[in-house]
Amino acid sequence: MGASGQPILTAMLFLYNILSFLALMFYFPVLLLKKGPADKGAFLRERLGRSTYSETDIWIHAVSVGETLAALPFFKRLKKEFPQKKITFSTTTYTGQKIAGEKFPEADRIMYMPIDALPCIAKAVNTLRPECFITVETEIWPLLFTLLKKSGAVIIILNGRISENSFQGYRRIRFFMKSVLSQVDFLYMQSEADAERIKALGAGPDAVGVMGNFKFDFKPDSADAPEWLHRVKGRIFLAGSTHKGEEAIIIEAFRKIREDFHDVVLILAPRHPERFAEVAAVLREKEVAYIKRSSMTDDHTPAVQAILLDTMGELPKVYARSEVSFIGGSLVPVGGHNIMEPAYWSRPVLFGPYMNNFPVASEFVKKGAAIQVNNGGEIVQAVRSLLNNPEEALRMGEKAKTLVVQNTGAAGRAIDLLRRYLGNS
């Protein structure tokens, strides 16, 4: 950036810092009342940047569960490739924190990301002083990036994505976005469309590449489904990562499916743990006999119509036993969730019309590897058809698995990029 633009950037960062500080004042009561974190004191200290930090080599950030699970193959390979490098891993949500602790114990430290306001972020950056900062997907934090750059860190965005809605919003502040993006050393995007959008926002063409999507590299840490699944009698219809407004539609569809297929069991996995009680109430209201996964004993599974999956981290493997799976966040305008998990297990997949977070979903439909359903009636029709035609369900699952295999490799390309900045050892 030229000298003439620097005073304007400085002024915009100053304004951003004021707005961030004011937002923090309003958000502080929410932090205090936040449900979920096991250690509320550590949660508050780390979100407010008041924790004790020590110097690190690589600082990786993933917002929540989805980003953490999707990037796990990359995280594991990164630690193997650079075993001597100290890695600090941060998340924003407590569910992401829990999964990171369980799935990435190789990290030297797992912590919450401080809020992007100067009183919160400065201490962490100045003490951690990473050689390299990596953020998964397109998390753009102006103050964090500015402080990291001043400390001499390399900043890399991996698995980057810019939706059309985000792009239109960012375009209104293109000058500011261009100055922020100029601090990023490399932006490795999921698709050509994402790459073109980020360049249109001001990222330098030489600093942008296409790596594919980490979610295609999904692989469970073992091939075994949870033991309790083997005790479930009947065929499983799994609705994963559901959101408010979807469960009632799915449960009503399930009741109609049960009229013809009495052995079908619904496994319902809400996206957010704080909604478990709410979804349980919907099951009771719809008069569906259910049990919570957390209430199941090791040696007995009662004959119920539905199981409420109220545990963390099991969903990817539960897909392995499903006859048909539905991807949540797609019947309501959320944007959809990871289609790769059931596809990895060669399972037929359904999803709603709102899969804009996962553009490759249209390719699945085009190749006959998934079915788009727009309402409860279409869910009933699709599930009935697949249960009546197991050969067609098998073919659909095999096509889904083929698409996964054809598109793997993003983690390897990311490692190749890191070698350019960190060397070979």
CATH assignment of 227-406, given 3.40.50.2000, 3.40.50.12780, 3.40.50.10490, 1.50.10.100?
A: 3.40.50.2000
Residue 189's φ and ψ, nearest 5 degrees, are -95, 160
d(CA 134, CA 151): 15
Query: Rounded to the nearest 10 degrees, what angle do helices 6-33 and 40-47 cross at?
Result: 170
Q: What is the pTM of this model?
A: 0.79
Among residues 170, 122, 120, the alpha carbon closest in space to that of 146 is found at 122
**What value, to the nearest 5°, has the Cα angle with vertex 109 and ends 106 and 113?**
125
Structural domain boundaries in the chain: 8-212+409-422, 227-406
Domain 8-212+409-422 CATH class label: alpha beta
* Longest CA pairwise span in the chain (Å): 72
What pLDDT shows up at residue 252?
Answer: 98
User: What string of DSSP letters covers 332-361?
Assistant: TTT----SHHHHHTT--EEE-S--TT-TTH
State the 10-residue block means of pLDDT for the chain, 425 residues long: 58 83 83 79 92 97 89 92 96 90 93 93 97 93 94 97 89 90 95 94 96 86 76 94 98 97 97 95 96 82 88 90 96 93 94 90 95 98 97 97 92 96 76
Given this chain, do its domains 8-212+409-422 and 227-406 carry the same CATH topology? Answer: yes
| Cα gap 42→175, rounded to integer Å | 37
